Amino acid sequence: MSEQSPNLFNQVDQQRANYQPATVLVERENGDIATAQISSIYEGSATAYFGGDITGDVGGLDSTLVLSERLTDKYQEHLAEKLGGLALRTPEENAYDVLLTGTDEQLATHTAKQAAKAEEQRSQVDDAERLRRERASADARYNVARQSGASHEEAEASANRAYSR
């Protein structure tokens, strides 16, 4: 897991440091997620402008008030994931968030998925180990048969009988 900067507004601050208006994701009242530009964060909120460049006249632009907590890097990442429909983070980071902030149902689902995954991995290891032992037994049977004077075909038939058990 990568270290998170203690600055909650790192992305916004970087854009401003480059003398650019901060472009962020904002969830509209209808649930759509859109890009918007903010001018400044003040008293726990900022005005977000949609559909244009705020370096010019903002009179004709649609705008909304956005709480500053929705401009944090963490919340912006959440909106990006929601917008993209894909997890942009590693499964470990997503699992960690579920463990910290998930509902009981999400935790139960996560735990069940982890248990199923662990069982599948155990089963695959068991199957691989069983096949390895069968192959070793068949190889040993083949070698014993050959050392006893059996032909290749006879030894192979003996090994195949051991392998098929």
Helix (H) or strand (E) holding 50: strand 45-50
What sections of 56-151 are H helices per DSSP?
73-84, 91-101, 104-147
The least confident of 2-16, 87-101, 117-131 is 87-101
Q: Name the DSSP letter for residue 4.
A: P
Question: What average pLDDT does the segment 31-57 reach?
Answer: 78
Return the pLDDT at 2: 46
pLDDT at 15 over 50: yes
pLDDT at 5 over 60: no
Distance CA 6, CA 124 (A): 42
Question: What average pLDDT does the segment 24-35 reach?
Answer: 86
pLDDT band at residue 1 under the 50/70/90 scheme: very low
> Whole-number mean pLDDT of the chain?
78
First to last CA, the chain: 47
Question: What average pLDDT does the segment 96-116 reach?
Answer: 71
The CATH label, of 2.30.30, 2.60.40, 1.10.730, 1.25.40, for the domain at 10-89 is 2.30.30
Phi and psi, residue 136, nearest 5°: -65, -40
pTM over 0.85: no
Higher pLDDT, 84 or 3: 84
pLDDT at 6 over 70: no
Distance CA 6, CA 3 (A): 9
